[in-house]
């Protein structure tokens, strides 16, 4: 089964907590804090795999979770880093953020890409020792890793895309000029999935061609199989538009040509402007020479490069291959889509925004960073409480409370912990 669109969820690992520890050794008094840092959480890493041709594997595994970092230990022992999870995808896969649809990365190069970063490990209490605070009894907890709901969309990487109505000979042509072996039969919609083939022009030149399942009228708005697979034409540098001129099916080649181009324009204006080579196929079985000549004149009058062939007998196929190679030398490389997703600022260490609401005389203080701060505080220790107080001052919490008219003795709720406000 060919699958080119799936939704998955990824969870990077959480960072390990820093340790609260003090050096204990015979004959060494007041050894001081020696709590080690927690290990960083593991990442979710995407890698292009040339041996994968669809997203079939993701139909069965939809959730990917990286390892958490280990907690720090005494003796300045750092926690072990969480294990990364490597997700292999076909080359040409687009990774999108599911809610917004914004593109995070085009997995088309050989470079691994970290989609979700693991959380940083927390600092041990050794980090908080200074001349005034010599016995800190608190440490910083590890941060949560990034998590996403993602849409994976495969857009095949091919230099040349074969377009045309069903049963015009696209699969036959691909089988003749490459080692690909697509299903071939004399009925419509024989090809149900895109097929790729490497076309060797000479010893030093080759290109990749894609046989796109047949389009029909209305494909640009979702009719037939064409709309489902038009995404695979978007990267093609050159389009080879194959038209059946035999007249066996009673079709008008000019109408077929214009119908397909109209559907391309509906789907994408950029795709409609892509360079095209027009190919008249099945010239060995032409029933109406007048319509054939009319089609040839029509295409050439519009400035298209025009070729005639019979994919079945291979007549004219080598000329077409060389023509494609010449055009590709003049065209830019395969399209790589630029990322457009902008990650929100969620780092609790740098984003210290707070929201204060008043309900029934209680001032509720909320903020993403406050949960991390609360977890790091030992409220039974004076120095730890002073550290907490200083963090609130630096974030402007007290100033905002006073702007809201707080009075001495009022209750302040910080992430579930309640305090009396004292001036």
d(CA 13, CA 84): 8
Q: Which of 110, 132, 154 is the last residue of a domain?
A: 154
Place of tokens 């999870």: 85
Give a yes or no: residue 135 inside a domain.
yes
Q: Domain check: are 86 and 110 in the same one?
A: yes
Number of H helices, E strands in the chain: 9, 18
Structure tokens at 368: 């993403």
Q: Find the range with the poorest average confidence among 66-80, 121-135, 219-233, 292-306.
A: 219-233
Boundary residue ending a domain (154, 173, 188): 154
Q: Looking at the structure, do residues 25 and 115 belong to the same domain, yes or no?
A: yes
* Mean pLDDT, the chain, integer: 84
pTM for this model (two decimals): 0.74
Residue 290, domain CATH? 3.40.50.300
Q: Are residues 150 and 290 in the same domain?
A: no
Q: Are 318 and 368 part of one and the same domain?
A: no
- What distances in angstroms separate CA 179 from CA 172, 174, 199, 298, 361, one per listed residue? 11, 8, 8, 34, 77
CATH code of 384's domain: 3.30.300.350
**Contact of 126 with 34, CB cutoff 8 Å:** yes
**88: Cβ–Cβ under 8 A, 6 or more apart, which residues?**
46, 47, 48, 49, 52
Confidence band, pLDDT 50/70/90 cuts, at residue 190: very low
Mean of the pLDDT values across residues 155-167?
85
Same domain membership, residue 136 and residue 19 = yes
Q: Within this chain, do residues 407 and 312 fall inside the same structural domain, yes or no?
A: no
More confident site: 343 or 221: 343
Residues 77 and 164 in one domain: no
Residue 193 sits in the same domain as residue 87: no
Q: 33-42, 80-89, 179-188, 379-388: which range is least confident on average?
A: 179-188
Residue 78 pLDDT: 93
Contact partners, residue 176, CB within 8 Å, separation at least 6: 311, 314, 317
Token match 């000549």: residue? 293
189, pLDDT greater than 70:
no
Q: What pLDDT shows up at residue 216?
A: 55
Q: Is residue 342 part of a domain?
A: no
In a domain, 51, yes or no: yes
How many structural domains compose the chain? 3
Mean pLDDT of 325-351: 78
Judged by DSSP in three states, 253 sits in helix
Tell me, yes or no, whether 349 lies in a domain. Answer: no
What is Dmax (Cα atoms) for the chain? 108
User: Does residue 344 fall inside a structural domain?
Assistant: no
In the predicted model, is pLDDT for residue 191 greater than 60? Answer: no
User: What pLDDT is recorded for position 186?
Assistant: 52
Q: Are residues 192 and 311 in the same domain?
A: yes
> What pLDDT sits at residue 138?
82
Domain hosting 370: range is 355-420
Q: Please report, for the domain that includes residue 101, its CATH number.
A: 2.70.210.12
Handedness of CA 383, 388, 391, 397 (dihedral sign): negative
Residues 133 and 23 in one domain: yes
Q: Give a yes or no: residue 338 inside a domain.
A: no
What average pLDDT does the segment 28-42 reach?
89
Residue 1 pLDDT grade (very low, low, confident, very high; cuts 50, 70, 90) = very low
User: Does a structural domain hold residue 194?
Assistant: yes
Strand partners, 6: 152
Q: For residue 336, tell me if it sits in a domain.
A: no
Q: How confident is the model at residue 203 (pLDDT cuts 50, 70, 90)?
A: confident
Q: Give the whole-angstrom CA distance, residue 361 versus residue 256.
A: 74
290 lies in the same domain as 165: yes
Nearest CA-CA partner of 376 in 18, 87, 108, 75: 18
Last residue in a domain, options 130, 154, 178: 154
pLDDT band (50, 70, 90) for residue 305: very high
């Amino acid at each position: 089964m060919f699958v080119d669109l799936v939704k998955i969820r990824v969870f990077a690992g959480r960072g390990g907590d820093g340790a609260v520890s003090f050096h204990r050794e015979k004959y060494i008094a007041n050894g001081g804090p020696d709590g080690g840092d927690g290990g960083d959480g593991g990442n979710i890493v995407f890698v292009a795999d040339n041996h994968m041709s669809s997203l079939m594997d993701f139909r069965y595994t939809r959730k990917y979770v990286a390892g958490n970092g280990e907690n720090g230990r005494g003796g300045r022992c750092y926690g072990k880093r969480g294990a990364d999870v490597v997700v292999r995808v076909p080359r040409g896969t687009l990774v999108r953020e599911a809610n917004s649809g914004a593109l995070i990365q085009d997995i088309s190069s050989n470079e691994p890409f970290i989609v979700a970063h693991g959380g940083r490990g927390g600092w041990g209490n050794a980090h908080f020792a200074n001349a005034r605070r010599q016995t800190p009894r608190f440490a910083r907890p590890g941060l949560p890793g990034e998590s996403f709901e993602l849409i994976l969309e495969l857009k095949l990487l091919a230099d040349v895309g074969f377009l045309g109505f069903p049963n015009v000979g696209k699969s036959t042509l691909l089988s003749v000029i490459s080692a690909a072996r697509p299903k071939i039969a004399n009925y419509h919609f024989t090809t149900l999935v895109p097929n790729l083939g490497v076309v060797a022009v000479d010893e030093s030149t080759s290109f990749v061609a894609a046989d796109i399942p047949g389009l029909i009228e209305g494909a640009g708005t979702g009719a037939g199989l064409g709309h489902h697979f038009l995404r695979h034409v978007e990267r093609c540098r050159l389009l080879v538009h194959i038209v059946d001129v035999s007249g066996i099916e009673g079709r008008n080649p000019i109408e077929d040509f214009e119908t397909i181009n109209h559907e391309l324009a509906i789907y994408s204006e950029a795709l409609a402007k892509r360079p095209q080579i027009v190919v008249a196929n099945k010239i060995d079985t032409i029933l109406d020479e007048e319509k054939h000549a009319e089609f040839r004149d029509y295409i050439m009058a519009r400035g298209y490069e025009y070729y005639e062939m019979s994919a079945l007998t291979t007549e004219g196929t080598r000329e077409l291959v060389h023509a494609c190679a010449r055009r590709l030398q003049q065209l830019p490389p395969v399209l790589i889509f630029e990322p457009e997703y902008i990650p929100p600022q969620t780092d609790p260490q740098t984003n210290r925004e707070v929201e204060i609401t008043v309900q029934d005389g209680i001032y509720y203080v909320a903020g993403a960073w406050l949960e991390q701060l609360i977890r790091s505080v030992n409220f039974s220790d004076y120095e730890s409480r002073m550290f907490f107080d200083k963090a609130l001052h630096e974030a402007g919490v007290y100033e905002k409370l006073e702007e809201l008219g707080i009075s001495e003795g009022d209750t302040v709720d910080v992430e579930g912990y309640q305090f009396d406000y004292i001036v």
